């Protein structure tokens, strides 16, 4: 599974042979360079929409028409567009699940608003939502724009998402402290990726509060258009004096192994899911060859 941040609330998720664009905002996105727009959308198989505020919807219809791919979202707006815009649409609603070529997407609640400015004025377009995306044996929770919700309690228990892509920029959504609180209280994420931040001065510019609030969870600070490669399973025990020195902090911290020391240093278990490919290239090669690689080079 490859997750690529398009900046702001936009993501490209490549999994199980599908390429999902979620709230792709290209035109006018201050953090997505113009020369990356085509790359961001190339090969997309579906466009998922959480709500119709401009920073999420502005490119959805043009992209759907250009690429000839379906827009997946709430029935109210998708049904309307299917009739008025002639797009392919997959409209459903909260509690429903659709199968996008083997990727299962369930619609869940969010707590935000959803309107659209039209020549006739401000229009209601249904409601704001989030998604639970299941593929490759993992579940990704895309929160959409939202505040902390009590609904996250049952959503965490019912869907058991492994990866959380959480709006955390504040002002319009949860801030970093709020996202950390929600993740800790309601979910058991292995990996958390903050979104909807850094775009404008009014939003959070750093994920430090989220990282510090979630010890033991891999918090990955996304970089626009850089691939975050996630794969499941392998737990690796590394020896390191200080977890924050042993690995870049954006990869989160390992779980301490009080029973084990490596080369005289405390050991930590790291779940390899969430490690960026380019950071573990050498390690990956060694694992492929079945050789042990117990100590991350440090200091």
Residues that bind Zn ion (CB under 5 A): 55, 145
**What would the two tokens of residue 52 be?**
């119709």
Compute the distance between CA of residue 246 and CA of residue 238 in angstroms, rounded to an integer. Answer: 9
Q: Which is nearer to Zn ion, 55 or 175 (CB)?
A: 55
Burial of 112 (0-12, 13-18, 19+ CB in 10 A): buried
Compute the distance between CA of residue 187 and CA of residue 157 in angstroms, rounded to an integer. Answer: 7
Least Å distance, CB 12 to Zn ion, is: 17
Compute the distance between CA of residue 133 and CA of residue 240 in angstroms, rounded to an integer. Answer: 35
Q: At what angle do helices 151-159 and 176-186 cross, to 10 degrees?
A: 50
**What are 133's strand-pairing partners?**
105, 140
Q: Which is nearer to Zn ion, 55 or 221 (CB)?
A: 55
Compute the distance between CA of residue 247 and CA of residue 298 in angstroms, rounded to an integer. Answer: 8
* DSSP summary character for residue 102: T
Q: Which is nearer to Zn ion, 12 or 134 (CB)?
A: 12
Least Å distance, CB 173 to Zn ion, is: 7
What Cα–Cα distance (Å) separates residue 261 from each residue in 241, 265, 268, 287? Answer: 10, 5, 9, 21
Q: Which is nearer to Zn ion, 54 or 154 (CB)?
A: 54
**What are 121's strand-pairing partners?**
118
Q: Which is nearer to Zn ion, 126 or 252 (CB)?
A: 126
Q: Which is nearer to Zn ion, 63 or 103 (CB)?
A: 63
Least Å distance, CB 174 to Zn ion, is: 12
Compute the distance between CA of residue 252 and CA of residue 244 in angstroms, rounded to an integer. Answer: 8
Least Å distance, CB 96 to Zn ion, is: 23
Least Å distance, CB 51 to Zn ion, is: 8
Q: Which is nearer to Zn ion, 171 or 185 (CB)?
A: 171
Least Å distance, CB 17 to Zn ion, is: 29
Least Å distance, CB 50 to Zn ion, is: 8
* Triad 212, 142, 53: Cα angle to 5°: 110
User: Which single residue is written with the structure tokens 């006739």?
Assistant: 120
Compute the distance between CA of residue 136 and CA of residue 174 in angstroms, rounded to an integer. Answer: 28
Helix (H) or strand (E) holding 5: strand 2-5
**What would the two tokens of residue 47 be?**
């466009």
Q: Which is nearer to Zn ion, 145 or 204 (CB)?
A: 145
Compute the distance between CA of residue 180 and CA of residue 211 in angstroms, rounded to an integer. Answer: 8
Least Å distance, CB 233 to Zn ion, is: 34
């Amino acid at each position: 599974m490859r997750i690529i941040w398009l900046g702001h609330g936009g993501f490209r998720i490549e999994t199980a042979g599908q390429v999902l664009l979620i709230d792709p905002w290209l035109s006018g996105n201050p953090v997505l360079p113009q020369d990356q727009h085509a790359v961001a959308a190339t090969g997309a198989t579906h466009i998922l929409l959480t709500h119709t505020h401009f920073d999420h919807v502005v490119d959805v219809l043009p992209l759907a028409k250009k690429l000839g791919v379906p827009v997946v979202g709430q029935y109210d707006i998708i049904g309307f567009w299917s009739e008025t815009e002639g797009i392919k649409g997959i409209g459903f609603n909260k509690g429903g699940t659709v199968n996008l070529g083997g990727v299962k997407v369930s619609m869940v609640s969010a707590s935000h608003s959803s309107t659209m400015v039209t020549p006739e004025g401000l229009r209601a377009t249904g409601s704001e939502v989030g998604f639970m995306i299941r593929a490759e044996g993992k579940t990704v929770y895309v929160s959409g724009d939202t505040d902390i919700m009590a609904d996250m309690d049952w959503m965490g228990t019912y869907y058991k998402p492994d990866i959380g892509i959480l709006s955390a920029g504040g002002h319009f959504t949860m801030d970093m402290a709020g996202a950390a609180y929600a993740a800790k209280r309601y979910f058991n994420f292995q990996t958390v990726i903050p979104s909807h931040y850094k775009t404008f001065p009014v939003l959070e510019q750093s994920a430090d509060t989220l990282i510090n609030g979630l010890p033991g969870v891999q918090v990955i600070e996304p970089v626009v258009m850089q691939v975050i490669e996630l794969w499941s399973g392998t737990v690796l025990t590394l020896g390191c004096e200080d977890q924050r020195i042993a690995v870049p902090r954006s990869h989160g911290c390992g779980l301490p192994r009080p029973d084990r020391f490596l080369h005289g240093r405390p050991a930590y278990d790291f779940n390899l899911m969430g490690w960026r490919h380019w950071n573990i290239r050498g390690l990956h090669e060694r694992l492929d060859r079945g050789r042990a690689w117990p100590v991350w080079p440090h200091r």
